[in-house]
Amino acid sequence: MLNMCKNLCFILSILTLLPFLTTLAQDNPATIGGLTPEEHAFFKQQEDSLNLLFTMAAVQDYKVTRLQKNNEFIPKLVDLLKKPNSFLYPFENIEGVSALYAPDKAFKIFTWVVPLSDESELMGEDGKRRQAKYKFYGAIQFNDLEELKLMPLVDKSDEMTSPEDSVLTNDNWYGVIYYNIILNEFQGNKYYTLFGWDANNTTSTKKVADVLFVEPNGSITFGEPMFEVVRDGQKNLKNRFILEYKKNSGVTLNYQEDRQVIIYDYIQPETPEAKGNYHLYIPDGTYEGFKFEQGYWKHQAKVYNEVSEKPLQVKESSPYQAVSNKKKRKKRKKRKKRKNRQL
């Protein structure tokens, strides 16, 4: 009877400590990010295979082949995420795919992009370049070490007429590649602010600050009237903040930890005649921002007193495009070598 009581007490103590032990396992320095060396080696090997497949998609010249390779990549990624403890593996080494943890580790979000325009389609008969098109892909993996809880993100940005004023869901997502995520709390609610890059088209790029809210039932919404946006002297609350600017202008939109503000380049038209044509907007060297106060992002008219000659950089080019350009350079070098041998 005494032994039975001891065993019962032992079991109860383990059950009481189980949540603590689970958290400890994720941060245990004796493991690799909470994974055993064997688990880490397995995920690393599979990640390398996914990286190879994804980069093969990036270098394809034709949209049909890019989409085919992308459609091969998605189920392989999902199968890997079904493995126990996959949430603990960061997946940082698939070039062109962003994988970000929420600051509180409640979820991890994957995003990437596939160009939908072939080079031959971009040049019109009149010699002018047509607008390029892109499709973004994504998924949110919630923190569950045993069972995969994965929510796909379906890009519908091309169908949106007023995205800054819309509340969206995972099935109606404003597609971007996320490069940062922060967490704010107000009145017991958690608000995840995400920063993303949108290739947009041939002449302009967009950067986006959005808010993700996880509902009590596990569903998610994107967008809350939390951004106090000032344009042309008019102040309005927007569900997300979208900054469109001239391609390759090097515009910043990100959170600066030491100042605890979102900082972005103030942009203006290149000429007075360009007003309203955002593909002709460029930074003027000054910065505005948002500061989180009383549950919303309050506009900050001036973040720095000085004028910068060189814009702050987050990362201007698409990760997907960077991979594609690198691989294409390698292809050109190989072709050049073959021609030299023939000569």
Per-residue pLDDT tens over the stretch 68-82: 999 999 999 999 999
Per-residue pLDDT tens over the stretch 13-39: 433 333 433 443 444 445 678 999 999
- Mean pLDDT for 123-149 is 86
Residue 328 reports pLDDT greater than 60: no
Residue 165 reports pLDDT greater than 70: yes
**Residue 160, phi then psi, degrees to nearest 5:** -90, 135
- Mean pLDDT for 135-146 is 95
Mean pLDDT score of the chain: 84
Q: What does DSSP assign to residue 279?
A: G
* Greater pLDDT, 106 or 21: 106
Determine the residue type at 34.
G
Residue closest to 103 by CA, chosen among 218, 45, 182, 208: 182
Q: How far apart, in whole angstroms, are the C-alpha atoms of residue 205 and residue 147?
A: 38
Query: Partners of 268 in the beta sheet?
Result: 282
pLDDT of the residue at 233: 86
* Greater pLDDT, 336 or 273: 273
> Which own/partner pairs from 182-187 qualify as long-range (CB within 8 Å, at least 24 positions apart)?
182/103, 182/255, 183/102, 183/103, 183/104, 184/292, 186/294, 186/295, 187/295
> Which residues lie below 8 Å from residue 89, measured CB to CB, with a gap of 6+?
33, 35, 39, 40, 43, 47
Determine the residue type at 315.
K
Query: Partners of 208 in the beta sheet?
Result: 196, 242
Count of residues for the chain? 343
Residue 325 reports pLDDT greater than 70: no
Share of the chain above pLDDT 90, in %: 68
- Mean pLDDT for 171-187 is 97
pLDDT of the residue at 321: 52
Q: How far apart, in whole angstroms, are the C-alpha atoms of residue 177 and residue 319?
A: 9
Per-residue pLDDT tens over the stretch 183-242: 999 999 999 999 999 999 999 999 999 999 999 999 999 999 999 999 988 999 999 999
> Which residues lie below 8 Å from residue 213, measured CB to CB, with a gap of 6+?
189, 190, 191, 192, 220, 221, 222, 224
Residue 278 reports pLDDT greater than 60: yes
Q: 33 to each of 42, 87, 89, 142, how far by Cα in Å? A: 14, 10, 7, 17
Residue 162 reports pLDDT greater than 60: yes
**Comparing 166-175, 281-290, 322-331, which segment has the lowest mean pLDDT?**
322-331
